[in-house]
Amino acid sequence: MHEYSIVTALIEECENHAAQNDANKVSRVDIKVGILSGVEPALLQTAFDTFKLEGICAEATLNMNIQPLVLNCFSCHQQTTHKERTVVCSHCQSTDTKVLDGEDMMLMQLELETT
């Protein structure tokens, strides 16, 4: 399950940002998870809850914004948004599309505390 390695890297990134800002606690972690990112949100949440227990993120909440798939169609020149995993244009049914968003997982925001 690669969610464990993803969470390990996420917590390390949180620790780095906290150290750069002289914070001793992370209370909130906001991430964007694309539906084509290959990350299963429920497993990611479980992994985060498991690995955060020791360290600066021990009391942090993980907020996930699930990013739909955004496609640009080269056939009809429409931009479409999809909540399912498909690269077919919903306007013209073409597969000649380009993914604009929805493939990545990104750290968007942290709430840090200096108590």
Binding residues for Zn(2+): 73, 76, 89, 92
* Residue 51 structural domain: 3-113
Model confidence over 4-53: pLDDT tens digits?
A: 899 999 999 999 999 999 999 999 999 999 999 999 999 999 999 999 98
Gap between the Cα atoms of 108 and 75, Å rounded: 33
pLDDT at 115 over 80: no
Q: Tell me the three state secondary structure of residue 44.
A: helix
CATH number of the domain within which 37 lies? 3.30.2320.80
The whole-model pTM stands at 0.85
Q: Binding site: residue ranges?
A: 2, 73, 76, 89, 92
Per-residue pLDDT tens for 89-111?
A: 999 999 999 999 999 999 999 99
pLDDT at 3: 86
Domain count, the chain: 1
For residue 103, how many C-alpha atoms fall within 13 Å in the half-sphere facing its CB? Answer: 7
Radius of gyration of the chain (CA): 17
